[in-house]
Every structure is written in structure tokens, then in C-alpha cells.
Structure 1
Amino acid sequence: MMSGAKKQAANIDVRMFEDVSVLRRKWQAALRPGEVLARYEDVMLGSLGRLADHMMLLKRDHGAFAVSRTGRYAQKWLGDERWDIPIEALPPDCVTALTEAAGNAIANSRPYLATAHSMRDGMVRTYDVLALPTFSRWGGTLVGAYVNERGAQYNLLDAIFSTTDGGVIALSTIRDATSGPSDFQIVHHNQAVAKLLNLADRSLQWQRLSTFEHPLGSEVVIEQLKAAVAKNQGSQFEIESDDRNLQLGVTVFADILSLVISDVTPLKRREASFRLLFDSNPIPMWVFDLETMAFLKVNDAAVQHYGYARETFLQMKVHEIWPKDEWVSYTRLLQDIDKTCQSDRHWRHVKADGSEVCVLAYGRRLTLDHREGYLVAVVDITERRKAEARIAHMAHHDGLTDLANRALHQARLRDALEAGHALGERVAILCIDLDLFKNVNDSLGHHMGDHLLQKVADRLRSQVRGNDLAARLGGDEFAIMLAADTSPKEASDIAVRLIQALSVPYEIDGHQVVIGASIGIALSPGDGTSSEELMRNADMALYRAKQDGRGVHRFFEREMDHQAQQRREMETDLRRALAHGEFELHYQPVVDIASESISGFEALLRWRHPDKGMISPAEFIPVAEDIGLIGPLGEWVLREGCKEAANWPSEVRIAINLSPLQFRSRNLVQVVVSALANSGLPPKRLELEITESVFLAETEANIAILHQLRELGVSISLDDFGTGYSSLSYLRSFPFDKIKIDRSFVKDLAKRSDCVAIVRAISGLGRSLNITTTAEGVETTDQLDWLRAEGCNEVQGFLFSAARPAAEIEQLLLRFGAWESRAA
């Protein structure tokens, strides 16, 4: 039958394996499609039950791990109850296990199960450490680590080095007046003595040795004790008792002797146990002679791990497994070690095949076969060191391109600026943004975009020299630091070469991809003396380069800083404007050509700034999109527009423009339903205008939203038709109710035959597909006549009216007769 201890160990093992399986399944279940790592909130938050006591949360800080949170069992294992501490503050065995497990989990983006050996106070315990890599929006990459003891623990030091409890007797010397010591009297002894001598405890105290009917009272023993007193020098000898051998150690303190009795039989059993634990231990171990440095014993694990035959091993000396460049330093270290050693130093060892490994060494002095030796156990941490190196590299390099990341770039830039300031030299920063990269992602997919970024990185690497540094800052943004003293002309020449190099077509998976690059340049100290200031100004120069047509480079100018301040001011004002009700809607009539009556109004957003007056939508709409305000702003437009349209005649519709960014929130349908419900406006009177950019990203999801809106009864109109590069495909993707002809074609309708041809083609397309066509920007009667002749259905523009406030809608409707028809 299994003992209680073994049953408990078995239960621990079974439960541990169940825990590991549960956590692995929980991690796999939390892994969302398209994501590499499961989210922290899905794995680590929620009900973990008793597993929470065994969990630790690790986070990376500047390339190193830190312990953020710990459960009660984990705290006991770590020997530390503190939170938010660097991993280096923990015991080395814990650091080794956690770093290996977390490093491999992050490197492979999968849960990783590691085995940890811990030896504290002589107790050897084996633990399983499961690392679960996760990603959190607020904490980046986080690792949840589960730890639990595997099976029973054992006391290695006791098993290898300890002897049985010895009997201790204190003897007083009895002297004759003439002949010196004649006998010895027991004045004190421990409990082990009676057991060792098989005598009753009470028969020992105050007895003389010569009265014993036991080998301890023999003449031989008494003579040995007399000699020790006479010489005032201890000794050691053995006697036989029954079927046992007893070893006696004598220490002399004047007339008082200490006699230590040890049973040799248990000692021999311990030697057998030592051989068992030594030879069968999975950890490589050996014993070497402290004087000759020769190997005395090696276990099977050492033979297998190092690759030397046992006979060869036993003919070698310790220094032969050290690299030659470490012989002197390692020999000095061995001379300085104490009786025990748990080294936190990394030792380099050479295996039989010449390869090097990195190990941690643990040792203890001992006597083997009457020779002073040193027992050593080693833990190979070569893979852990490689993992640490990989983690350190990952912490400072971009995972996709292997260029320096933003953190390394900023650190190197700070160093270069300090050195440049001391030497009076300039440092240049080139901020690079890829032109047309978004089109590659949207048309060919993110996989192709990733390949393209890797090839761009290769070309950037080929352009840097010396201490210059190429980095990827994120997305399609790159930077090159020119650390050597750089003149404006040199920086300009390099920028030209970079633009040329990056603009050469790329061959990727059978596709020829053409992109370009825009570059902003800033030079210290004139454009900034800190890394933050220099990068900010280079980024402003890049923004100007993109404004100036892309494919060019621009140097930072102080006027750019002024413009940036204006932009920041507008961002602040925009956030305040919505809360303070500074926005209003104006409405431009849409006229039906056949009936010459108003068929609807297009709602146009206006911003009446309290200090600056009316601000054009062309100025603030892009800013609102950039800062994430377009969602609530668009929702306000829908509510306000529907509420106003509910007061118009029943046949008059309202058209409201949607930003492509409004589709990202995925609640657009609910917003439209709410606006219609609150206003009471019938869905058939609402027309939503979109541009083809809605189809450039997440096309399937956006088309699904458009179908949901159309099922409500809302009309969908395609605005600015004909200005994109693939508009006809969109007409096949979705059954639009209306297409709007861009004002750029209407403007020159009477002057250019190509404009006439385009309008004719769009109108014909609309008739064929049963789609209403509306022309924008009509300003003259000639333009109106041309549009009527080409079969256009609706028009809008200054010829009829500019956009007007809601208060003037009734007058417009009266002018076109719609209000009277409502009254009728």
C-alpha cells in the first residue's frame, strides 16, 4: 500500500498537472482570431479560485522582468511578500526559473512549462513553473506565472554530508597521588550514548569506566584516554561492540575529556546513500581533490552532459574543463571559497566536443576516502542566457524589421547629443514616412505590407554608416540618426539618396509594389538640444514635406512650430466646442431637375468659434478625425439633422455625411436608429452619404453595416463619385441609391469635352443601374442646361442657394413651393 506521504505527493502531482492543463486551456480559449497573444484581462482576471495563490504577474521594464503581483503560495516560494520589485531582488534559483520560463513564453508566443530546482536550508524541492504570455492595452506584454511543488522534497545536504546523531560523553580524570591518571568518571552524556551502548540511561551517570562490562570500559580504551590526557592531544580510534563498530573521537580540556561516539554501521549506510544520490542525481555532479585539483568522482549526469568518458574524466583535472583564458581567474576563485558555495557567478565550461556552456555552480567541502575534496553540482543556464540575450535584443529592436525600436533610438540619440554638445558637433535626425504605404495594406493586405516594411528596413540599413542608426518608430514611420558632425547639405544629400532608394519598385510575391518617401530633417543644436525637442521638430518638418506633395524632404523652420501650436490650440478648442454647443448645421437644397422643386437638403456642419468666428469644415474636420472627436460629433449631427428634418414637408429628405472613421466604432447602426427614434423621422427620408474611402479598410465589415442601414429603410449615397481609383467596383459591392457627381467635373462642363463625357457616362451608368444621380457645385444656368441634357436627376449648388441656417429653411421651401404643398 502507498504510504501517507507518498499519497500526498501523488495528489500534489496530479493536482499540479490538472492546474497546468486548466491554465493552458484558459490561455488558448482567450486567444482571439488574428492575435498572437491572449489578452491579460481574459486570462488572468476573473475566477482563478485556488490557482490565484500560485500565480505571479511579471512585466518587463526596460528589458528586465519585474514581479508586479504575487499570490500567497508564490510569495512563500519567492521568500518575499513585496509587490512591484525587480526580479533581481529575488533568490537566484527563482530568478533562473522565472526568467527562463517567461523569456521562452514571450519568444515563442505560447505558454511555456519549465522545471525549477530550489535548494534552501539544505532542502531540495522541484517546482513546475508555467509561464502564460499575455497582452494588455495598459501594460503591454505581461506574463502570468504559475508555480507549484512537484512531489516530495528531500534534504540533499543531510543525505550526502550528514552522519548519524553521535553520542557525547563528558569524562573527568581520576588521578592517583603518585602515578597520574588511573581512571575516568562519566559526569555528563547525551541520550544517544545509552542507545549506542545498549545500556540503561541511569547506569551511566557518575560511573567509572573501569567498572563497565562493556568494551567502552576496556583496558584498551582507558589506555587510549590516558595517553590523550598525558599528551593533552585529541585522538580518534574504533572499538567493536556486538555486531557494530563504534568510532570514538577524543578531545582534551585539561582533566576533562569529551568523548564522541559514532556508530560506523549507519555511517556506511550513509555512504551507500551518498553513492545512490550522487550517481543517480539528474544534476551533473563531481568531487575533486582540493590539493591536486583532480576529479575523484563524477556522476552519470556529468558524463552525459559534458560528453567525456568516465575514465577520461577521472584522469582530468578541474582546470581542463575551463576555457584557457579563465584558468588563472577561476583558480583564484577556488582558493577563496569557503566550506560551502552557492555561486551567483556564471562559469564557462568546455564540453568534450569543444563547445562552451554557461553554468551556475553549487558546492561543499567534504572528506572522501580520507581525502579533502569539494563536491560540486552545476546547473546549465546556456539556454537561459541565450533567452536573456534574445529578450534584451527584443526589448531594443523592432520585432518585424529588426531595426532599432523607439526606445533604443531615443537612448542612442541622447548619447549622441551629449557627445555632440561636448565636441561642438551637430547631430541630424531624419524622420521618414512612406508615401502610399496605406494603399498597399488596403489593396494587397497586411501580410504584403509587412513584407514591404522588411524590404524598406533592408534598404535603410544599407544606407547607414558608422555610428549612424536606422530605427522603426512604428507603423510606416522610420528615423535615421546621423551621429557624425553633419552639415545641412550633407543631411540634404542623404535625404535625396534615401528617397531615391526607397522609391525604386519592390518585387514581393510576384507583385511589383511602388511607394515613395517623405523626410523631415532637424539638426542640433539649432533645431533642438534634447532628443524630444529634436524629434518633435523633425516630425513637424516631415508633416510639411507631406503637405508639399510627398516624395520630398524639408528642413525644420520656426514657422512650423507656430503652425503646430495653432494645431494644438485647435484641438483644445474643438474638445470645448462640442461641450459648449458651438456647432450648428446649415442646409443646402437639393433640386429635382424634372420638377424644379426641392427634393431634399444636405446637412453641412459649421463651427461658430466665440473668438475666431465661423471656421471652415475643411480646417476642423480632419483635426476632429485625428483626435477621435468625429464619433461624438457625427452622432450630434445625426440627432440634430433628423430632429430638424422632422419639421419639413413629408416629401423632403435630409442627406447627412458620414466619416469613414464612424464605421470603426461598430455602433453606427444603433446611433442612426436612436436618432430616427428620438426625432420621429421616417427612415425613408434619411439619406446617408459616404465616400469610397469607407471601402479601403475592413471592407466586408463596413459593407455589412451599410446593408443593415439599408434594411432600416435609409438611403445610401456615394459622394464624390469618379474621383477615386476604383469607383466602379464599389457599385458592384453595394446597391447604392444615389451617386453624386463631384463638383470638379461640373465646374468645367461648358468648357471641356472630357468633363461632358464623364458626366454623360455617370448619368448613363445611373440610369442603367436605376441609381439617382446628383450633380454638386452647380453655379450657372449653362451648367444646369448641360446636366439636364445629359440626364442628370438632381442638382445642388450656389445657383439655387448656399447652405443656410435652419431658420431660413422655410423661406427656401416657400420660394420653391414646397412649403405651400405641405400646408395644402
Structure 2
Amino acid sequence: MPSNVLSRLLDSGPGDEIGVLETVFQAAPFPIAIVDHAAALLFANGTFRREWMGDSRQPTALSAILHPGDQDSFHQTIQGLTLDSPAERLELRVMDPNGSQRWVLATFAPLGKNLKGQLLSAVHLTDITDQRRQVEELIERESRWDNALVSSVSGVWDHNYATGQKYYSPVWRQIRGMSPEDPLAASTKEWLELVHPDDHDHVIHAIERQNAGDPAYAVFDYRERHKQGHWIWIECRGACVEWDANGKATRVVGTDTDITARKAAEETTAQMSRRLDMALEISGIGVYESDFSTGEVEWDERMFRIYGLAKSEEVKIGGLWENFLHPDDAARVQANVLANIEEGKRFSDEYRVILRDGSERVVRTRTMSFVDGNGHQKMVGANWDVTADVTLHRELERAKTLAEARNRELEAARSSIEHNAMHDYLTDLPNRRYLDEMLDRVAAECARDRHGIAILHIDLDRFKQINDTLGHSAGDMMLKHAAKVLKGTIRKGDFVARIGGDEFVILSKFEGSPRKLSHLADRIIKELRKPVSYEGHDCRFGASIGIACHTGVEVDARQLLLNADIALYRAKNRGRNRHEFFSADTQNEIISTKRISDEILLALERDEFIPYYQLQFDAATLEISGVETLARWMHPERGMLSPDKFLEMAEELDVVSVIDGTILDKALADFRDWRSNGLSIPKLSVNVSYRRLHDASLSRKLKKLKIEPGTVSFELLESIFLDDCDDDILKNLARIKKLGIDIEIDDFGTGHASIISLLRLNPRALKIDRELVRLVSQSQKQRKMVGSIIEIGKSLNIEVVAEGVETTEQIRILRDLGCDVLQGYALARPMPRSSIPDFILSGRWRTGESTQPDGRKRHATDN
């Protein structure tokens, strides 16, 4: 109704007002009523009365037909309306005349004020009972499923590929240890990083098949990393619920369930089953179960095996098994079963059975009876074949009889066994066990008789070469010969033993005269150096001897043996075929060597090995052409040490390769830093040890360093490359060159490498040994030799580097001879990484400043 017409109606008297409104609203096809500000019902059209009031009710207020619980909200809405208010909507419950309840959507629209100033409103009620019931049922169903999923600890996921929306329930997150605020994986690829590597392919394939509607993949399981880092097992159930016009899945919904505990239980059960089956299989025990109520019997595979039957044979109580019983044992065994079944006891038995092939076996059994849940009387038990045990027992009984009869023979053999236990089988000399007993015995005699002990520890020299070249038979003969010599040389009362390999020990009384011991040692060495004929070969070997002696009451014979071993170590290091007495200096030398060894190993742990660098220069222009890396030990107490102070010991410890690798890593880092800061150093050369070249994984390790081809050279000593250089080294060098790392020969000219070796190796450069360079300005012969090396290099297209260049005269001569690169104190000394930039920027080598002595001794490894 237009607002200006309504105003005229409301401005007239109350009776006229209601009459006009009745005419307008009565014609409306929907239920409508008019109420005032107090909710008094002023008017209701026919439709309203039929639907909501019926014939029996004539309420004066609209709230009278409302549910008591909705009346307050109804009044608040009416009273809150103003003339300018928009239409208000409110869901209310209306009570039918028959007492039933219906839901309505009430629409309130202000009409205007009457003469009394009261606001009149139109009310329209729409029945929404069905919609409300459907919503409530939907909410109830959703709540029921949600509660069921929560109680089953299943997380819901919903992938809508059409809209790009994905939903994951709180339980889905809870399974993975995620909080509601934790971000989800941004993509499938990122999520797959959380899937166990072994399950990647399976998960990708399963998801594809699940999306395709394959029922075989409606459920699959996999492992996923929990937020706390451990793996959990997920059982994924999913199905496509929406498809596009081409039949492609556009929405897939499913659940994830944590089945980690179930998987663990399954694995535990499987493990127990495997263990039980393995135990039964190893022991050969067969298991059976008999039902006395039905007469049925179940045998496992091992039971059939024990009785030599096929698994298809039918087993019944009173049938198959009873027929196998030995006639002499059958009555006793069956009576025993019945008696124990009735008493419900566990029992054991042993009896004989006769198999179908006629063989007789002995079976041992362990049995128990019980009543199952169905009230059936049952018996379960285990059988195992003890024929071998019984036979063995009989044999042992016979053997015991024989053993007693042969007791006298064994007693006679005892002394022979004792002799063999205390003597070396090859030389028949006393062995180490016998020596240990003698040491204790002689030490006790010394304490009692106040005489001394002398121990000579003898090791055969060159024995290994004879053994390796002529065979073990020749080696055995040499050992027998050595034993014969020792027994024929020692004094009366002395004790000689072979303690292992080619080592012997002489234990002698010491009367205070080391000269006699020295004469004895010399006599032994002289006799052992005489040639021994073996199958037409004159075999020669020698001996190194360490001597330790002591006089006094408190003699530690075992320490004395250790001292003799230390003296032997010194004799072998001083040239072999000699003897040495143990002394405090010898022990201190060993201790010092041990200390240095420990310090080297500790230095590797502390990262004390660092690179020093010596620049190399183009002989023609004196431009920097490269830098050589030199190893230094930054000792915490002795300061900076060069390789001559630690290299020999490092080789004995077999850690030179480790030091090489450490120096290379640091040098590469420094080299890259210089070049990134604009320092023009074309290449870096690094020393590599002979042992490292045997490392089969060397090329793989170098590849990880990502060395730029042509920027790094490995310097190798010429002595490594004899003409018979082994294939492993050559293969490693070939792999190294493929990585773009050049090869240089260091200390060339010492006489090891031939031209053929150079051609086979094809190095990028060779370095003339400093001893040859040192005399080029003084010796014409030396100058010619250096010139020849340079010519060889040029003819083979190999760059020639002169190291140890210390004077400007040597620079001039080497340049005139055509040398390519110069390195030495005349141009630059070895320096730490931090000094390289200032030195290069200063250009001091051009003014000759670098030739000035710096007060330091030049190391053998410096150029």
C-alpha cells in the first residue's frame, strides 16, 4: 500500500481506519494481520484466520497463539519497530488449536500511526516447519557422523578440484600432531616430502587410482612423518563424489585413520609367529590338537613330516596315529593318554612308532588337556623325533665303555699333547705360552738367587721376500734353519722360543756383562746371514736383535720383554742386521714418536693443518701465473711446522690422505675468495699423496667439490711415476683429468720418470727439482741438463716450472733457457692466505724486495 494512501487512512477515525484496512488486506491471497505497538490483534484476514486461528480461537493478542518461549522475542521485535524501521523477520513457534507446534517465519512491516499515536504493523506468517525439520535432521545427521568420526579417531578430508578448495577436519590435523594454526603443505609435491620415501610411488599411484574410482584403491595405507619427527601409519579411505562431463573426478572425499598401533601390533604378532614357527622348525617339533567330542584331529606340517605322511592324509581319533604305535608300546601309551585326559593333567611320554617304510623311530611327546568354550574335551600337544638323541645316548654309553678301556692310551698321549701345547709345531721350539711360563719362573729365580735376566728379541730380515717369492715351503725351511742356528748358538742354560711368524726370543741369565750379550748377538747375526740352499736357490736373510737386561731383586720380566721389543724396533730403524741395547734414550725416542703420533691425530680433530701459498710467475713477463699450496701445521706450542716435521709420522699413521683433503678444501675456499675479490690468480696447484691416488672414491669426492675445469692442478712426486706405476693409479688419474683437474710432475729430474712415462701420463706441467736449479748459475753442466729438460717439455707440449729460484741471476738464466714458469724465494716466499692480496697489489717481486731474507729458515718443502 503506498505510504500517502496509508496516511489518509490512518488520519481518519479509528473505525474508518480499520474498515479501510480490512478491505485492502482481506483481498490479499496470503495470511496477514495488523497489530498495534502492544501486540494487540487489530485485524486478521480470512487466510490468516484459517491457517493460524481456526474457528474456535479468537485471540485479542497475536502473542496468544505463540509458544511461551518465543513471546518475549516477539514483543521485543514489535516494540523495537519505528515508523522508519525496515521490515523485520523472526522465526517463531505457533501453537495450533489442536496443540501441535509449527515453525513460522514472521515478517513485521510498520504501516503508520493511528489517531492515538500508536504504531500499527502488518504481520505475515510463512510456514517453515518442513524446512526447519529438514535442517534439524541434517544437523542431527551431521552431528551423528561427526561424533562417530571423532570417536573413531578418523580425520575427514574433502578435495574439491573444481573450486580448488580443500578441507581437513581437526581430527585430521590431530593425527599428524598439527594444531589448527599450523599451515598445510602448499602443494601435493610439498606434502609428498612428508611421505616415507619407500611409499612415494605407491601413494602417487594409489591416489590416481582412487580418483579414477578403482575399488581396489578405495583404501590404502602409507607412512607419513608426524610433526614431532617420527613416522605414523595412515589408512586412507576415499571415493569420488562428483565428476565433470568427461567423467573426470572433480571432488573426492574421504577419511584418514592413524593405524600406527595396529601396524605395530600386526608386526609384533607376525614377529611372534615367525619366531614360533622358526623355533618349531629348528627343533623339528610337530603340534597337534584332538577333539574328543567330535573325533577330529588337526596336525601341522611337521607332524606329517615326523610320521612320513602326505598332508592330504585324514587324521581321526582311534585311526591313523594309533596304527603307527609300536606293538610293544601301544597299550601303555593309549592307557597313559586316557588316564591323564580324565584327570586333566599335563604329561610327557616317549614311545616307538613304525613308519610305512618299515623304519622304526622314537617319538617324545608333551601333552595337555582342556575344555574349550563349546564344552568340547580337547587335547593339544607336541611331538618330536628323538631317534637321533636316543641313538646318540646309546652310542655315548658304548663310547664311555670304550673310553674307559682306552684310558691308559689317553694317559700316555697326555704328555705328547702338553708338549704340543707348549711348543711350536714347525721348529719344535718352545712357543709364546711356554715363554710366558719361563718368564715368571726366571723372575722368581732372580728374586731368590739375586742374578739378572737378559732377553734377546730376534726378528728375521728379508724373510718375507723369501716367503713371497719362493713360497711357504721355502719360508718354513728358513724358519727351521733359524731355529737350528739359535739352538746351536745359545749358551748352556739359555732358553729359546719362537713367539710367532719370524720372531724368536732368547731368555738368558745375565751376569752383569753386556759385552757377552753383544758377542752372542753378533754371532747369531753372522750365522743367520750365511746363505741357505733351497731347490737350487741360495737364500740369504739376516736378523735384527733387540737386547734388554736387568739385575736386581725386583725384576719385571714381562716389562723386560717389552724393552727388548723397543730395542728391536730401533735396530730395524737403524738399518737392520744389527743389534741394539735398550736404554732410557731408546724408550724416550719411542715415547716421543708416540707423542707426535697422538698430536697429529689430535691436530686433525682440532683442524690445525692449514695451507700456505707460494706464488708462481711467468718467466717472460713476471706476471702471476698461479699459486702452489703448501701444508703447514699450526702447532699450539711449537708454532708453525713444515711437512719435514710431521710428514714421515703422518705416513706411518696413514693420515696423509686426510691432511691432503683438508688442505685442498681450505685452498679451494681461499682461491675462490681471492678471485671473487678481483685478484688475478689463474690457477691453484695442490700436492696429492701416493696413497690418496689409490682411493677408489677419490674422483667421486672431487666431483662434489665442483672445481672449475682448468683452475686446479695436482702436483705429484716424480717418484710415484715409475714405468711400472700400477693400473689403479692410472685409472684414478684419468678420472681426475676428466674433471678438468690438471696433473703436474713435482721434483722432476731425480731420475725416476722416463719419456715413456711422461707420454703415458701426459701431464700439463713438470717442475724441475730445486737441486738442479740451484747450480744453474755456477755449473755449465747443470745448465745444460736443465736446458735439456726444458727442451723435452717443449717437445711434448708440457709446461716447465723451475722451483727453488733464489737469485736474479737464476731468473735470467732460466728465462734464456726457455723455462715457462718460475717459483722461489727470489720472487715470493710461502705466506698465509691473508698476506696474498697485499703482496699481489704491492708488486714487490718486480722491485726485488722479495729476495731479501726474512730471518726464517727455508723448509725443504718450500720453493
TM-score class normalised by the smaller sequence = 0.3 to 0.5
Higher RCO (C-alpha under 8 Å, 6+ residues apart)? 1
When normalised by structure 1's length, the TM-score is 0.47
Structure with higher Rg: it is: 2
When normalised by structure 2's length, the TM-score is 0.45
